[in-house]
Amino acid sequence: MLIEDGSHATMVSVNMLPDLGELYPEGGLVGRLDELRGLKVVIIGFGKMGLLHSTILSLLLQNPPRAIVDKSLTVRLGFSRLFGKKAVFHKNLEDALRDGADLIYVTTPTPSHYPILRTILSREDIRGVFVEKPPTATHIQLKELAGAVGRRAVMVGLQKRYSLPFRHGKILLEEGAVGEIEGVECYIKSGDILEKTSRFDAVGRGVLLDLGIHLVDMLSWLFGDLRVEEAAFKSIYTNVDDHFWLRLSSRDGFEIRAEVTWSDPAFRVPETLIRIRGSRGSLEVTEDYLKITSPQLNKAFYRPHYYQGLPPVLVADPEFTIENMHLLLRLLDGGEPATSLRRSEPGMRIVEEAYSKAEKIG
């Protein structure tokens, strides 16, 4: 298999990937989808992400959501006329829950996550909950909610952790593929906000909470306990942070430099890059590829190596389907989701610490 890599071509072998069962355990759901027939799904907030999850779930389960809740009359009227009578649209959550719900997706704007989750978690009949990232506006709110989860599957939409190159990177780090870690440079960048908007005034926080949470969540997942040493931000198009810089330190003594922005026009779609320097080599990983370099080894794996005939539904990036499959599997088998509320806490703690220490520049 030949992949062009800059000016030269590198031979890479698919059989060097980890076992698929380890890399993609969610594949186990494929033969079990029948067990989920008739699952009552309710989606709260039918914006871009609500529509995305509704589309993935409908294709996976061959069953559109039972009910959709949205405050906007334009959305309710528009989509109910577009879709016909297949899904029932409600203005209020209580109305949607009257007919029962097994699984609820919360894809509303961030400030509303906390009150909605409190309402949902107070009900015993709901088996699973998905909340889009960031789970809450603050770390304190998240801690309170995490205590109310009980044995239910409650998961945060931190979908980067379900991206196979990142999972591969974690496996390699755990195997000590680059030796002792000496330093990390990373970013998450997008060109999502390139004009003035007051959309984020309500939450009072910007790119670090909304987009950077993906990166800091993964840094906690990959490197364990981290501390914020320095933080700075700049406002460009919003009244909050559009560009954020972080310097973090790990318990093992290495330093992480991170950059977060949603206002870089060069990034048509968001990209997350983590570059790890180790005593025996280096590892660079994004949603698209993983490259490992050492004196003995020089390998690159790209999307087409990871996603061959999987996942079973493809809408936007494959990790969105895989995160949905992960939650559905937890619903069937029990167990805590990889991005449960509790497991999202370290990332949210870093966000909180960064905002408290951040200096505004520019």
Which residues are at the interface with other proteins (CB under 8 A)?
Answer: 1-4, 30, 46-48, 51, 54-56, 58-59, 64, 72, 74-75, 77-78, 81-84, 86-87, 109, 191-195, 197, 199, 262, 266-269, 271, 286, 288-289, 302-305, 307-315
Taking the complex as a whole, how short is the minimal distance between the CB of residue 77 and other proteins, in angstroms?
8
Q: Residue 132: which residues within 8 A CB-CB, separation 6 or more?
A: 49, 105, 106, 107, 108, 113, 156, 157
Q: Which is nearer to other proteins, 291 or 330 (CB)?
A: 291
Rounded to whole angstroms, the Cα distance separating 189 from 234 reads: 14
Rounded to whole angstroms, the Cα distance separating 133 from 113 reads: 9
**Within its chain, how far is the Cα of 64 from the centroid?**
23
Taking the complex as a whole, how short is the minimal distance between the CB of residue 325 and other proteins, in angstroms?
12
Q: Which is nearer to other proteins, 93 or 315 (CB)?
A: 315
Q: Residue 79: which residues within 8 A CB-CB, separation 6 or more?
A: 46, 68, 70, 87, 89
Which residue matches tokens 């200096």?
359
Rounded to whole angstroms, the Cα distance separating 337 from 323 reads: 9
As given in the structure block, the two tokens for residue 203 are 């939450």
Taking the complex as a whole, how short is the minimal distance between the CB of residue 346 and other proteins, in angstroms?
27
Taking the complex as a whole, how short is the minimal distance between the CB of residue 104 and other proteins, in angstroms?
18
Residue 228 φ then ψ, to 5°: -85, 120
Taking the complex as a whole, how short is the minimal distance between the CB of residue 134 and other proteins, in angstroms?
15
Say if residues 137 and 111 touch (Cβ distance below 8 Å): yes
Three-state secondary structure call for residue 312: coil
Taking the complex as a whole, how short is the minimal distance between the CB of residue 230 and other proteins, in angstroms?
27
Taking the complex as a whole, how short is the minimal distance between the CB of residue 98 and other proteins, in angstroms?
22
Rounded to whole angstroms, the Cα distance separating 117 from 135 reads: 9
Q: Which is nearer to other proteins, 58 or 294 (CB)?
A: 58
* H/E element, 278: strand 271-278
User: Would you tell me how many other CB atoms lie within 10 Å of the CB of residue 163?
Assistant: 26
As given in the structure block, the two tokens for residue 247 are 């310097």
Q: Which is nearer to other proteins, 181 or 188 (CB)?
A: 188
Beta strand pairing call for 281-286 and 271-278? antiparallel
Taking the complex as a whole, how short is the minimal distance between the CB of residue 257 and other proteins, in angstroms?
19
Q: Which is nearer to other proteins, 38 or 84 (CB)?
A: 84
Rounded to whole angstroms, the Cα distance separating 226 from 267 reads: 28
Q: Which is nearer to other proteins, 228 or 325 (CB)?
A: 325
Q: Which is nearer to other proteins, 56 or 226 (CB)?
A: 56
Beta strand pairing call for 103-106 and 41-44? parallel
- Evaluate the CA torsion angle 11, 5, 321, 308 in order and state its sign: negative
Give the angle subtended at the CA of 238 by the CAs of 79 and 145, to the nearest 5°: 65
Q: Which is nearer to other proteins, 254 or 267 (CB)?
A: 267
Q: Which is nearer to other proteins, 46 or 233 (CB)?
A: 46
Q: Which is nearer to other proteins, 86 or 227 (CB)?
A: 86
Taking the complex as a whole, how short is the minimal distance between the CB of residue 324 and other proteins, in angstroms?
12
Taking the complex as a whole, how short is the minimal distance between the CB of residue 342 and other proteins, in angstroms?
29
As given in the structure block, the two tokens for residue 184 are 């990390």
